[in-house]
């Protein structure tokens, strides 16, 4: 109970810090701008308008969420250590793993609020579309404008952002913000091609390389698995099973990475 209270207190502080960060406002502003602009772009394309709005809106949600996760996530621990604000805090009755859990929970809370704001904005734009377009145009849409199925894509975007936050936090427990950002972005990009690694051994002759790529396939996060935007936009079904398995995969990966961050942080000297 005490541990939960401490984690909650730290999480609320991170949330407050993020909310007061100008970077966050800039990112949210540009995300909302892009979602709104998608409406105008949709007007220029006959019959494709809703798809473009959904596609651009979901992409903006992911992209700006990634910016927030990386740029705030990498500073969560390293900034506290660099500025020495951590000394006073860790001298309080706080266990080091509670500190990490609180920092993580705080940024995930920030991301949840941001994703919710962007989702509401996207649904508003789409609702506007549904009201203003004539019935004949609406009949040609593959999926309704205000489609609840979009929430499936938004859920997986959120899980992906949770994972990226965990990676940024992990690197920030032992490296500088610049290195943390490089490692995190590198892993996110590599994770997009993770599925390709599975089939790599079919085209390489070296057993060692094949084994290495196989090992990498299991170790690297499979970021592409979280991308169901295309199905949702085109009105194709995403099964509940797929959603459950992918979410479980993301949450397990997050747990492993946060645990690793806790282990490293628990042994660290603050010189």
225 CB-near residues (< 8 Å, 6+ apart): 195, 246, 249
N- to C-terminal Cα separation, the chain? 31
Shortest CB 116 distance to other proteins, Å: 22
The residue with tokens 């805090």 is 89
Nearer to other proteins, 17 or 227 (CB): 17
Shortest CB 6 distance to other proteins, Å: 6
Tokens representing 108 are 């995930």
50-89 binders of other proteins (CB under 8 A): 83-85, 87-89
Nearer to other proteins, 81 or 167 (CB): 81
| Of 3-11, 34-42, 161-169, 249-257: span binding other proteins (CB under 8 A) | 3-11
Q: State yes or no: residue 92 binds other proteins (CB under 8 A).
A: yes
Shortest CB 270 distance to other proteins, Å: 4
73 CB-near residues (< 8 Å, 6+ apart): 107, 164, 165, 167, 168, 169, 172, 180, 184
192 CB-near residues (< 8 Å, 6+ apart): 223, 224
> What is the rounded CA–CA span in Å between residue 6 and residue 72?
21
Q: State yes or no: residue 179 binds other proteins (CB under 8 A).
A: no
Q: State yes or no: residue 4 binds other proteins (CB under 8 A).
A: no
5-34 binders of other proteins (CB under 8 A): 5-6, 9-10, 13, 16-17, 20-21
Shortest CB 167 distance to other proteins, Å: 24
7 CB-near residues (< 8 Å, 6+ apart): 98, 101, 102, 105
Shortest CB 102 distance to other proteins, Å: 10
Binding site for other proteins (CB under 8 A): 2, 5-6, 9-10, 13, 16-17, 20-21, 83-85, 87-95, 267, 269-271
């Amino acid at each position: 109970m005490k541990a939960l209270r401490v984690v909650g207190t730290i999480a609320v502080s991170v949330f407050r810090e993020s909310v007061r960060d100008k970077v966050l406002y800039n990112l949210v502003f540009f995300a909302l701008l892009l979602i709104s602009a998608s409406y105008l772009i949709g007007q220029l394309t006959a019959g494709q308008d809703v798809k473009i709005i959904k596609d651009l809106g979901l992409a903006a949600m992911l992209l700006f969420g990634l910016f927030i996760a990386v740029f705030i996530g990498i500073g969560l621990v390293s900034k506290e250590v660099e500025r020495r604000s951590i000394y006073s805090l860790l001298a309080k009755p706080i266990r080091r793993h509670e500190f990490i859990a609180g920092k993580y929970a705080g940024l995930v809370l920030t991301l949840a609020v941001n994703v919710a704001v962007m989702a509401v904005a996207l649904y508003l734009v789409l609702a506007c579309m549904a009201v203003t377009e004539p019935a004949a145009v609406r009949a040609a849409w593959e999926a309704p404008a205000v489609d609840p199925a979009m929430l499936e894509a938004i859920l997986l975007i959120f899980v992906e952002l949770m994972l990226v936050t965990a990676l940024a936090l992990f690197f920030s427990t032992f490296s500088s913000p610049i290195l943390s950002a490089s490692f995190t972005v590198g892993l996110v990009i590599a994770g997009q091609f993770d599925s390709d690694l599975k089939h790599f051994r079919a085209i390489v002759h070296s057993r060692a390389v094949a084994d290495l790529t196989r090992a990498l396939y299991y170790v690297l996060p499979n970021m592409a698995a979280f991308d169901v935007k295309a199905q949702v936009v085109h009105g194709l079904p995403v099964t509940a099973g797929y959603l459950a398995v992918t979410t479980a995969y993301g949450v397990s990966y997050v747990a492993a990475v946060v645990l690793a961050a806790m282990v490293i942080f628990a042994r660290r000297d603050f010189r």
